Amino acid sequence: MMRIIVSLVFLSLVVIPTLAMTQETTTSPNFWQEFDIVFWQTVPFATIWGHFLDSQLSTSLSVVGAPHWNSIIGFTLLTSAANAFWHARSAVEIERTGYNN
């Protein structure tokens, strides 16, 4: 019985990665696909840092009413979009030229 379980676990570890090949993983990077992935990965971290910076600046400048969500969301969107654009451009460039800096 133990041999059957070990064999099934081993077989699943060998077979599943070969079945996991999708069109997205086998094609070259697309600019907008890379942009979308990186943008949504960056949003939570940029929001946390925006909130942290807002609280620090509000305290040091004696600004009332923190947190200022309009400023935090603006910072988040600009930071995430800039990071996603930079990463997507470099990923497509690396794929096009084959040169990894």
Neighbours of 44 (CB within 10 A): 11
In a domain, 6, yes or no: no
In a domain, 67, yes or no: yes
The reply to whether 79 falls in a domain is yes
Is the pTM higher than 0.85? no
Residue 4 — φ and ψ, nearest 5°?
-65, -45
Q: Considering the domain boundaries, does residue 21 fall inside one?
A: no
Amino acid symbol at 88: A
In a domain, 5, yes or no: no
Query: Which pLDDT does position 96 carry in this prediction?
Result: 78
How many domains does the chain fold into?
A: 1
- Inside any domain, residue 2: no
- pLDDT at position 20 is 65
Query: Stretch 10-23: mean pLDDT, rounded?
Result: 72
Residue ranges making up the domain that contains 43: 30-101
**Between these two residues, 68 and 39, which has the higher pLDDT value?**
39
CB 31 within 8 A of CB 88: yes
DSSP annotation string for 1-52: -HHHHHHHHHHHHHHHHHHT--HHHHSPPPHHHHHHHHHHHHHHHHHHHHHH
Instruction: Tell me the average pLDDT across 79-98.
Output: 89
